[in-house]
């Protein structure tokens, strides 16, 4: 297998893992609470103030503490996505998170989207917060704004999901 193949994001696995967790926990209607899900999986969620150089960080997963640290100064909807994204690293990328080239989630991510693991964590977060079966029920009868309120995600995150799932 070529290095290129290895580095291609596996969106299907990210989506299946998110759905598996929702099924296990019996979550069947929006909004999905990723903090509750993390805690049910034994992963701590800690809201903290980052200082100095770390001010630009949205959050990160600490594998030694088995906890997600979230920037408490960011908007709640962004924090929700950050928790879901970091939970994706915890579920999908445990080995990598323990390695030295693991990177935290920066608020203004210019480079991180190059990394296939970042794309997978974002796909996991979108699938966890806006599951396909729940979206199927509502997407064509509600506006993006209404959907974003129902699913407790930002409008841009919802628009992105609508585009990926339904091409709208």
What is the contact surface with Zn ion in residues (CB under 5 A)? 105, 118, 121
Please name which of 76, 79, 68, 72 lies closest in space to residue 55, comparing C-alpha atoms. Answer: 72
Least separation in angstroms between residue 126's CB and Zn ion is 13
CA distance 69 to 100: 18
Least separation in angstroms between residue 65's CB and Zn ion is 17
What SS3 state is found at 99? coil
Least separation in angstroms between residue 116's CB and Zn ion is 11
**Which residue, 115 or 144, is less far from Zn ion as judged by CB?**
115
CA distance 142 to 128: 20
Least separation in angstroms between residue 89's CB and Zn ion is 6
Collect all residues with Cβ–Cβ distance below 8 Å to 108 and sequence separation of at least 6.
56
Do residues 116 and 9 touch, judged by C-beta distance below 8 A? yes
Q: How many CB atoms lie within 10 A of CB 58?
A: 22
Do residues 84 and 43 touch, judged by C-beta distance below 8 A? no
**Which residue, 58 or 148, is less far from Zn ion as judged by CB?**
58
**Which residue, 38 or 105, is less far from Zn ion as judged by CB?**
105
CA distance 162 to 154: 12
**Which residue, 68 or 135, is less far from Zn ion as judged by CB?**
68
DSSP symbol at 153: -
**Which residue, 68 or 121, is less far from Zn ion as judged by CB?**
121
Least separation in angstroms between residue 57's CB and Zn ion is 11
């Amino acid at each position: 297998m070529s290095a290129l193949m290895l580095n291609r994001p596996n969106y299907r696995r990210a989506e299946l893992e998110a759905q598996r967790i929702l099924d296990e926990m019996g979550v069947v209607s929006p909004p999905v609470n990723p903090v509750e899900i993390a805690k049910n999986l034994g992963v701590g969620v800690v809201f903290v103030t980052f200082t100095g150089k770390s001010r630009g960080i949205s959050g990160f997963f600490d594998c030694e503490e088995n906890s997600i640290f979230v920037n408490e100064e960011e908007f709640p909807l962004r924090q929700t996505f950050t928790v879901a994204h970091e939970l994706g690293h915890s579920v999908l990328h445990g080995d990598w998170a323990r390695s030295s080239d693991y990177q935290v989630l920066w608020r203004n991510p210019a480079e991180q989207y190059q990394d296939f693991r970042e794309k997978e964590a974002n796909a996991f977060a979108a699938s966890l917060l806006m599951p396909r079966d729940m979206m199927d029920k509502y997407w064509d009868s509600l506006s993006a704004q209404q959907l974003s309120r129902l699913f407790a995600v930002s409008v841009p995150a919802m628009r992105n999901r609508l585009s990926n799932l339904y091409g709208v």
